[in-house]
Amino acid sequence: MIYLDHAATTPMHPEVWDAMSPYGSTVFGNSSGVHEVSRQAKNALEEARERVAGMLGARPMEIVFTSGGTESDNLALKGAAWSPRDRSGVVAVATEHEAILETVDVLRRFGGPTVIVEVDNEGFVDSDAIVGAIDPSTAVVSVMLVNNETGLIQDVGAIAKAVKESDSDVYVHTDAVQGFASEEIDVNALNVDMMTITAHKFGGPKGTGLLYVREGTVLEPVLHGGGQELGRRSGTHDVAGVVGLARAMELAVANRERFRSQVGEIRDDFERRLIAGVDDVMLNTPHFGRSSHHLNIRIPGVRNETLLMRLDQRGVAASAGSACQSGAAKVSHVLEATGLTPDQARESVRFSFGWTSTMDDAVEAADIIVELVEKLR
């Protein structure tokens, strides 16, 4: 299999598995307990928290471990909107992940004021438009750092600055799930109050993520129970998962520059081969302000569903967009937000690269795609 769907999930790095393995058998205690078996688990948990915080420019107490990106996004928005503060409004961008947009829809149905801000035809959002959507009821603004379908990079730091200058009581959240492998991420440089990260997008385990919550940010918990994570997220800790998250983050940080260079070179060569071999191919990914590992293209006259099925038969894995739609054959809201018609969106395919990608695989995949497009047309 030639795997070109790293934006959906990535293979776990062997060093991550090695780091996790003792915490399912040897060190198995409940980290909330008081005896020695639990203290061992607690020590591992808090050591991982310190390492994670250091990589983000945060304090350990500002890290909330969760089950992944979806939960972190829900906690950020619902927690801010339902907090004791006298604000319940949410502002989000039209190209956000479903975990954000569906949460916004739930909050709207519960009676909260919500605004979805549109983007330009490349997917960039104007900070003035976001500021213009803010009113005295706004609790939180959410802007994705790297888009999961196109790889577009929003200037979250500049947007957060504009929001804070407009109303310092509005929280700013960013979903940085797709950006951690390739982008320098520091919560203070981004000037955000909350940030979502999940491990399985950069060689870590599924089911483990975090929400950075700046000190002083008031959130209502979404999960209630034993009061873990300073009361912000109840539930028994997955210590193995947290240890794996920390190790995956360390590997991503250590290899980030090489990742951008090598994976970017592979993606760019793949892109050039498709442009040279497929007539009229269109890029949905912007030329500038994009990540090194995403490529979204439109092939006029070829339905993505058909092409993806043929690619799968030839051993190439790609996707039509987000992997978080439960297999639903729906048109990409991201591409529609940038001005594509439903038919054009159905001609679009996402290829995404990661730490296991090789140039040989990309060359072979490009040749297969060129061959299949010619036959399908």
**In a shared domain, residues 228 and 167:** yes
Say how many domains are in the chain.
Answer: 2
Q: What is the mean predicted confidence (pLDDT) over 115-135? A: 97
**In a shared domain, residues 238 and 263:** no
Show which of 209, 237, 254 is a domain's final residue. 254
At position 278, the amino acid (one-letter code) is V
Q: What is the mean predicted confidence (pLDDT) over 218-231? A: 92
Q: How far apart are CA 323 and CA 313, in angstroms?
A: 19
Q: What is the mean predicted confidence (pLDDT) over 74-78? A: 98
**Which CATH number do you get for residue 372?**
3.90.1150.10
Identify the domain containing residue 281 by its residue range: 2-9+256-376
**In a shared domain, residues 339 and 241:** no
Show which of 254, 274, 293 is a domain's final residue. 254
CA atoms within 13 A on the CB side of 137: 11
Banded model confidence at residue 287, pLDDT cuts 50, 70, 90 = confident
Banded model confidence at residue 41, pLDDT cuts 50, 70, 90 = confident
**In a shared domain, residues 125 and 231:** yes
- For the question of residue 4 being annotated catalytic, the response is no
The lowest-confidence range among 130-134, 185-189, 322-326 is 322-326
The beta-strand segments (E) located in the chain are 2-3, 63-66, 89-93, 114-117, 138-142, 171-175, 194-198, 209-213, 282-283, 294-298, 316-317, 348-352
**In a shared domain, residues 158 and 25:** yes
Global pTM value: 0.94
Q: What is the mean predicted confidence (pLDDT) over 40-53? A: 92
**In a shared domain, residues 28 and 125:** yes
Indicate whether 203 pLDDT > 70. Answer: yes
Banded model confidence at residue 64, pLDDT cuts 50, 70, 90 = very high
Indicate whether 190 pLDDT > 60. Answer: yes
Between strands 209-213 and 282-283, the pairing is unpaired
Report pLDDT for 368.
Answer: 98
Report pLDDT for 26.
Answer: 76
The separation between CA 184 and the C-alpha centre of its own chain, rounded to angstroms, equals 14
What is the per-residue pLDDT across 236-280, written as a single tens digit (0 to 9) for each? Answer: 889 999 999 999 999 999 999 999 999 999 999 999 999 999 999
Report pLDDT for 37.
Answer: 66
**In a shared domain, residues 44 and 103:** yes
Show which of 213, 238, 254 is a domain's final residue. 254
Report pLDDT for 327.
Answer: 47
Q: Between residues 117 and 37, which one has the greater pLDDT?
A: 117
Indicate whether 359 pLDDT > 50. Answer: yes
Report pLDDT for 326.
Answer: 42
Report pLDDT for 345.
Answer: 96
**In a shared domain, residues 128 and 241:** yes
State the average pLDDT for the chain: 94
Indicate whether 328 pLDDT > 70. Answer: no
Instruction: Give the residue carrying structure tokens 């001609």.
Output: 347
Q: Between residues 44 and 329, which one has the greater pLDDT?
A: 44
Q: How far apart are CA 211 and CA 65, in angstroms?
A: 6
**Which CATH number do you get for residue 180?**
3.40.640.10
Distances (CA, A) of 323 to 6, 148, 176, 208, 242: 10, 9, 16, 17, 23
Tokens of 260: 């951008």
Instruction: Give the residue carrying structure tokens 């592979």.
Output: 266
Banded model confidence at residue 29, pLDDT cuts 50, 70, 90 = low
**In a shared domain, residues 286 and 244:** no
Alpha-carbon dihedral angle through residues 201, 260, 351, 180, given to the nearest 10 degrees: 20
Q: Which of 106, 129, 275, 324 is catalytic?
A: 324
**In a shared domain, residues 82 and 180:** yes
**In a shared domain, residues 272 and 142:** no
What is the per-residue pLDDT across 144-159, written as a single tens digit (0 to 9) for each? Answer: 999 999 999 999 999 9
**In a shared domain, residues 221 and 357:** no
